[in-house]
Amino acid sequence: MADLKELQTDAKDLTLLYVEDNDALREKGGKLLSKFFSRVDLAKDGVEGLELFKKYPYSIVITDIKMPHMDGLTLVKQIHSISAESLIIIMSAFDDKKILLKSIKLGIFRFLTKPVNFTELSHVLAEAVTHIKLQEKNTLLQTHLKNIFEHQNSMLVLLHENKVVMANKAFLDFFDFHSLQEAQEKMLQIDKKFLEHKGFLYSHDEINALEVIKFHPQKLYNVKMRDKNNTITHFIVKYQELPQQADYGILSFTEISQLKLLKVFDERQNEIDTTLADTETLFDFLHIIQKNSAKIELHNYYNGLSITHDAFITGIKDGTLTVKTIYLQQKAIQIEQKTLIISNALPYAIEASQLEKINYEQQTVTLSDLKFVKTSPITRKTIRITPSGEYSVSLFLEDIKYDCELLIEDISLDAVKLNLKLLPAGLTETKEVRLEIVLELDKKPLNINTQATVLRKQENTDSFSVVFMFKDLQKSGLIKYITKRQMALIREIKGMQNE
């Protein structure tokens, strides 16, 4: 009986038409069906049934076959020409296979042979109601999704296992596709439409662009494509998986050609650096990122240790940028009083060198003095740390020991940056020297004796910073040292979470 209760609940907003020429049967059936459906109308033949249907599109029609004026099969045909979705159940004393086949061809929902018992009928009605509810749900979802799709300015495609299953008008228009079907046929590999451009995402021998986008949902990429008129258009593209439907995802293309940013990437390619000073372009990019609710990454250093976490832009106003990030990153920004902003959508990293405000409760940081910078921690290939505890450094140039104070600014497996009070004569770039460094590892001395070459020199206010690249260094001791030091630094900065 639980099924009947369910039927009563589920069918209460559905309507039914019962067409039967046997008066007694029609009346009895009508009474019974009224217990379940919100509206039940009765008709004594096909003609009367069709008239009623034209006035009122019933959810379910039950009909006899053999009736005066218009038989049941003709009625089925007529109803389907008005509404292809109507569910029709045939109840007939005909036990003829030909008629059964014919009615199946007409697309009826079920065929019941008279006499029909109540259990059988209620079972079929329950199936019909479930079917209708499911269809309604799907249509609602699809309409909802379609509405969302059509109301976006961006070009949107819904992908299922890399195949296009839905596309909005903006997308179809861009390629001059007249239907979704045409888009599906011609868009077998959407990433092949992405054109080659320095700093942009496109598929080539080593990269499948679509896989890259899907691999990093919520990240933004620059792509360019040709439209129906062969015009090259610049987009920011993003992929978003549908919740609980990992095989489905939406690819959105935001057109930004009007910002004329292609030249920014071209200039980067040609190393013309007018972009670096272009604050307007910088904020254009940040607005695009914010509009797409895309992630950015913030980079800071704590005693050489790289501290990186995701962030979202929550506000852009009067040359300031507010981002939301985690406590550890906030703390690192507070210590450094600045941060570096990274995103695939940006032609360069952005340095925000003025800390305006930190709100620990809301997890936000407001920064100003933003500019593009050419250096990026992403290009830093090795982990550098500042040493702790006792250490000593000796520098030999042409076998002569440099006898001023030497400090280690940072050290990695590949190089050490030393701070020198005075620059000895002859310490030119690529010059080979010998270094003897003694660090402390597990309360024992760790000796690093190696040849090294000068990579870079930098003049500070009252000292010089010189980077020496190690040559033929036995690395295992230094790996241990840097690991331990890194662990200690992590503990230190994590400890700040409790402050």
Partner 1 sequence: MNNKSKVLYDDGTHKCVMFSFDDETHEDSFLSVNQYLIIEYGAGFLIDPGSEAIFDELYDAISEYIEIENLKYIFFSHQDPDVAASIAQWAISTQAKFIMSSLWVRFMSHYGFADMNRVISLEDKGITLQFGEDALKFIPAHFLHAPGNFSLYDSKSKILFSGDIGAAILSSPDAYKKVQDFQEHKQHLLGFHQRYMGSNKICRAWVNKAEALDIKMIAPQHGFVFEDTNVGLFLAWLKELQCGSDLIDDLY
| Residue whose CB is less far from partner 1, 149 or 202 | 202
In eight-state DSSP terms, residue 475 is -
Looking at 20, 41, 48, 297, which residue binds partner 1 (CB under 8 A)?
Answer: 297
CA atoms within 13 A on the CB side of 70: 18
Tokens of 176: 């001059």
| Residue whose CB is less far from partner 1, 93 or 207 | 207
Strands (E), 162-304: 163-167, 221-226, 232-242, 245-255, 295-302
Looking at 305, 321, 406, 420, which residue binds partner 1 (CB under 8 A)?
Answer: 305
Segment near partner 1 (CB under 8 A); pick from 38-46, 182-190, 209-217, 450-458:
209-217
Segment near partner 1 (CB under 8 A); pick from 231-239, 267-275, 419-427, 487-495:
487-495
CB of 497 to partner 1, least distance (A): 11
Type and span of the H or E element at 108: none
B/e letters for 284-293, b = 16+ CB within 10 Å, e = fewer, are bbbebbbebe
Type and span of the H or E element at 41: strand 39-43
| Residue whose CB is less far from partner 1, 100 or 413 | 413
Q: Does 489 bind partner 1 (CB under 8 A)?
A: yes
| Residue whose CB is less far from partner 1, 71 or 351 | 351
Q: Does 204 bind partner 1 (CB under 8 A)?
A: no
Q: Does 396 bind partner 1 (CB under 8 A)?
A: no
CB of 241 to partner 1, least distance (A): 8
Q: Does 308 bind partner 1 (CB under 8 A)?
A: yes
Strands (E), 243-284: 245-255
- 155-160, strands of its sheet edge to edge: 163-167, 155-160, 245-255, 232-242, 221-226
Q: Does 307 bind partner 1 (CB under 8 A)?
A: yes
> For the window 223-262, what string marks contact with partner 1 as x by the rule CB under 8 A?
------------------x----x----------------
| Residue whose CB is less far from partner 1, 38 or 483 | 483
CA distance 55 to 47: 13
CB of 479 to partner 1, least distance (A): 5
CA distance 217 to 293: 11
Residue type, 27: E
Looking at 78, 314, 386, 486, which residue binds partner 1 (CB under 8 A)?
Answer: 486
Q: For the packed helices 118-150 and 2-10, what is the interaxial angle rounded to 10 degrees?
A: 40
Per the CB < 8 A criterion, the answer to whether 204 and 171 are in contact is no
Interacting residues with partner 1 (CB under 8 A): 206-208, 211, 214-215, 241, 246, 297, 299, 305-309, 342, 377-378, 381-383, 412-413, 475-476, 479-480, 482-484, 486-487, 489-490, 494
